[in-house]
Amino acid sequence: MEQVVIIDPAEANDRTWSALARTHRTQEFSARVFVVEADGPTLDALRALPGVKTPAQIDPATASSLSRAEALSLQAWSARAAAPQKARPGDGLSWGHKDFQAP
């Protein structure tokens, strides 16, 4: 499962940064905005640490502190998550698979 996390450096402590370092990051939008991949309990534990927020928890102060690139990245991620799944021929197949049709 993936989750976008925003780290508030003013609130984060050593435990926060240590936990984030042990988590698999699939995207890094900036030095404080990441997409992490983990199981549910691990994500719950990460979200409970000081300085960690999800997009749903962003308050006006945090929103105004985001850079333009960070804000656009969060908007794009939200749009991606809300978009319907597309049926793509050969999705998930190796390009060398006999049933794959190259674009």
Q: Is residue 88 part of a domain?
A: no
Residue 103: per-residue pLDDT = 66
Q: Is residue 16 part of a domain?
A: yes
pLDDT bracket for residue 5 (50, 70, 90): very high
Q: Is residue 98 part of a domain?
A: no
Q: Is residue 99 part of a domain?
A: no
pLDDT digits (tens, 9 = 90+) for 19-67: 999 999 999 999 999 999 999 999 999 999 999 999 989 888 888 999 9
Residue 29: per-residue pLDDT = 94
Distance (Å, whole) CA 23 – CA 1: 12
Q: Is residue 90 part of a domain?
A: no
Distance (Å, whole) CA 65 – CA 16: 20
Q: End-to-end alpha-carbon separation of the chain, Å?
A: 28
Q: Is residue 15 part of a domain?
A: yes
pLDDT bracket for residue 99 (50, 70, 90): confident
Write out the residue range of the structural domain in which residue 49 sits. 2-81
Q: Is residue 62 part of a domain?
A: yes
Give which of 51, 40, 41 is closest to 18, Cα–Cα.
Answer: 51
pLDDT digits (tens, 9 = 90+) for 81-92: 777 777 777 677
What is the tally of structural domains in the chain? 1
Distance (Å, whole) CA 44 – CA 11: 18
